[in-house]
Structure 1
Amino acid sequence: MDFAPSQEQDMLRDGARRYLADDFAARRRGDQPTAWQGYADLGWLALLAPEDAGGLGGDIEDVLILAEEMGRALSLQPYVASAILAIGLVDLVASGQQRLDLLAAMTSGERRLAPALYEPGRRYSIEPETRAAASGAGYRLSGAKSLIAGGPGADALLVPARLDDGSIGLFLVPMDVAMDDAAVAASHYATIDDGGASDVGFERLELGPDALLGIATLDAIDDVLDEARLALCADALGALERAVAITADYLKTRTQFGQPLANFQALQHSIVEIHIDADSIRSSLYNAIAAFHRGVRDDRRRAVSSCWVKTFDAAKGIAGMAVHLHGGIGMTTEYPVGHALRRVMVSERRFGDVEYHLARYMELAG
């Protein structure tokens, strides 16, 4: 297939790069990062949402272009969690007017949801131990969720829980209700990449009947997760390519022994090697895009896990070398290279680490 971007995709990339250019500098000045509403006004939140709910019904390539630019800008907005994974889950599970209303609110920026898929002590298993027992006309939720990306500042959580009949229900838990209830224990914290995450525990939290959005299968949830995983790979690629470019420019301007560092052959070899590694990540990303278009589930899952392993196995070496070639300045908070390293370290553990995806790939490959 042809991976050359269309004219519209070139415009999307250029517009996103211009809009996000000042994100990192603004954070260093202590300003607020780009507002979530700004993403909505540009139509970015509606890219993957279906047209019947006010979305654009875009392709996976459109989202990956945007995710790559967000990684390049080191944006802190939880775009992958709240605009890809959350919207995908609601579109998959909810139905009727509730689905339309909720998707419209999400794509317009009126509401931001945070998926709470993982649980303490269960690593990357998405099969929930959290229980939702029938209680009168509603449900009683008990369990715990951890490492909820985008949890701080979210309007509501999307919580998968096991129902009495053994099926998995997806529940909408408004944050304002949950935080005021004694049955909820929540903690919000910063991750090392300057992002935010949450841990939430439920102890017989009473929910109304409309809190249940619908029934989901593990396979369906994993399908939506694969879109988010691929977007994180693109995000990491954007961050790495920016780190490589900054490092190349630094070696051209930093002098030692009366000449630029870029004149030293050993450092030239290091730059070439990390350029090659970054290009290999893009090739793996293209392979996964092709698998998405073929539409075979196991083929797509193998390609996504292969891309994940390639991306984050190489990412730490690329970003680490970029920091190393800068010397001490590479570790300072004022300089973006160190932020790229911390970003890929956190991203690798967001939806399964390298070891998890290597095992997943081997299992699917038989």
Structure 2
Amino acid sequence: MEEKPGDMMQLRSGLLGRQKIEEKGWIDESKKMWSIAGPASLAQVVEFSIGFVTLAFVGHLGEVELAAVSLVQTLVEGLVYGFMLGMGSALETLCGQAVGTRHFNMLGIYLQRSLIITGATACLLIPIYVFTSPLLKLLKQNENISELAGEYSKWVIPQLFAYAINFPIQFLLQAQSKIWVMTTISKVALLGDMVLQCSDPHSGLVKESRIAVDSISICMNLELWTLTISVGFFAAVSVRVSNELGAGNPEAAKFSVEVAIITSILFGILFSCVILATQRDFPKLFSQNPQVIKETSKMGYFLAATIVVSSIQPVHGMAVGAGWRFLVALISTGCYYIFGLPIGASLCYKFNVGVRGIWSGVLAGCLLQTISLLFIMLRTDWRKEESILNFIH
């Protein structure tokens, strides 16, 4: 079949562009990536450590306290965080592309709109905190744990409005590669939280529900803590892709994705090795209960596998930077709620596998989501994406 001259010119242009990018090498791209991913990861580590430290201190108060706070952090705060992140993350794409196309006058407008949207969303989500206790009881959770969780959740309502302000400002600074401001603020917040913690004198249908909640929450918090590095690269690749597409450099955008994914996977493998090496010891950071330590240790292999799969998070950043938010939302919903959740529930309740069954469902959903996004990435026509972006702006 005879090739058209236009196709040959496009192919030649793409190859020349790719050669030029590769001549610059991994070192130059890595420097650009780390200048964003480094402080972004550090900011995420510090911000997440606030809840991490809280859980570590509470775990030594008792099983009920650990289970209650874990439920709030996992179910309530996790759900709210997802909502607020989703409502504010549109700013990440818009500001990133505005910087790439040098439409700096739009940054303030985008920020104001985002603050209004996230503020209104925060107000709508308040009832989730207020009615945490009856909601948990409706889900058949332990009554004592539900009551204590309900009391604790009311004290963290200000967190909603912190998210409403934090996410828009964070994405605005992030799109301009100004990350150290948020990192510094996060450090001060963590230091203050640790001082307060030291000065003080997120399951009911599963057998040994308190042990199950404690075990899965410890593993989830550790998994999320290690994920902060990948989230840093998620942010970096989102900024790099949106900036490069906005500047008309599709090959550079593609190369950025490759560098970010490979680097993030290497960190994922490293963290997994640490988890496996300390499988019998890391649960002791949160609890001294032998049953909790034993059950959490059994989750080590599942946790290590999840960390490796989750380390491919930068592919999500590629999708965000390219503006494919609706597609990502559909894939995530299908993979977790239609595929992963039913598997986890069946293994846990029908086949009596327990918390490892629930975690297997989460791992299956995460794996399917990652494979789907990788498939889309490999089939992406980056020049077409650049053309679409130029048409929009």
TM over 0.5: no
Q: Which structure shows the higher helix fraction?
A: 2
Q: Which structure shows the higher strand fraction?
A: 1
Larger relative contact order (Cα-Cα within 8 Å, sequence gap ≥ 6): 2
- Larger gyration radius, structure 1 or structure 2: 2
